[in-house]
Amino acid sequence: MKKYIVLGVLFILPIVVYLFFASGVNNFGKLPVLQQKVENIGYLKDSEGEAVDFKGNITVLGFLGKKIESKKLNAFNLNQKIYKRFNGFKDFQFITLVPAGTEEQVQALKNELSPLANVSNWHFVFASEEKIESVFKSLQTPYSLDENLYTPYVFIIDKDVALRGRLKDDDAKKELFGYDATSVAVINNKMIDDIKVLLAEYRLALKNNGSPSKRGSYLKYNQDEE
């Protein structure tokens, strides 16, 4: 009897554990949609004259405002923790909306970021104040832009131009719409995990369907995954 118990533990238990985690990926491995109709920016161009679009991309969206020089910490935190980590994935991009008239500040920031990473996939998009406010309001979050059109929060937009986040933040016990880019702890402990979940969601959909899902094909990493 003891022999059979030992054999059961050795062979059956690992299978049970595997099935448990496999079912968890299918049932719980999706990053919740918090807002389905984010306003797109498909007709705008970035600082290099390249047309940008939310549709078909996983986007980290930020609002640096008029005083970019004083908000560089946000950009450096995101560059080190998020951009450099996930930039190898196809269809992953950064879009930072900034007011027209900040061109020199943006170029100065890009010059500082460039030695740290290839920022060709980080799009700084100049827009009118009205457009920036309109896109931000379409997120329908409890946050607000200040008088300079700045917020410390950045947002995850999926390929269908929907806002993703958490239905229940572990700390605040309420929805998590955006991630405070001034906090390395938030980026490390929440944002990185949530982007991984979203990437895994696309990969799982592709595997299950055998072809690109209706939510878009899985992002192919161009480098070795970490």
Quick one: average pLDDT of 163-188?
92
Please state the separation of Cα 44 from the chain's center in Å: 20
Task: Give the pLDDT score at 216.
Answer: 38
The DSSP annotation for 37-69 comes to -PPP-TT-BBTTS-B--STTSEEEEEEE-S-GG
pLDDT band at 1 (very low <50, low <70, confident <90, very high): low
Residue 8 has pLDDT above 90, yes or no: no
Which architecture characterizes domain 30-209 according to CATH? 3-Layer(aba) Sandwich (3.40)
Task: Give the pLDDT score at 42.
Answer: 82
Quick one: average pLDDT of 160-165?
96
Q: What pTM value is reported for the model?
A: 0.80
Mean pLDDT of the chain: 84
Task: Give the pLDDT score at 13.
Answer: 53
- Top pLDDT among 125 and 219 is at 125
Percentage of the chain beyond pLDDT 70 is 79
Q: What is the pLDDT of residues 91-148, one digit of tens each?
A: 899 999 999 999 999 999 999 999 999 999 999 999 999 999 999 999 999 999 999 9
Query: What gap in Å lies between CA 27 and CA 42, rounded to an integer?
Result: 33
Quick one: average pLDDT of 48-66?
94
Task: Give the pLDDT score at 214.
Answer: 41
Residue 194 has pLDDT above 60, yes or no: yes
Among the residue ranges 12-26, 118-132, 187-201, the one predicted with the least confidence is 12-26
pLDDT band at 222 (very low <50, low <70, confident <90, very high): very low
Tokens of 47: 């600082």
The DSSP annotation for 189-221 comes to IIIHHHHHHHHHHHHHHHHHHSS-BTTBPPPPB
Q: What is the pLDDT of residues 35-45, one digit of tens each?
A: 999 999 988 98
Query: What gap in Å lies between CA 120 and CA 184, rounded to an integer?
Result: 23
Task: Give the pLDDT score at 54.
Answer: 95
Among the residue ranges 11-25, 160-174, 200-214, the one predicted with the least confidence is 11-25
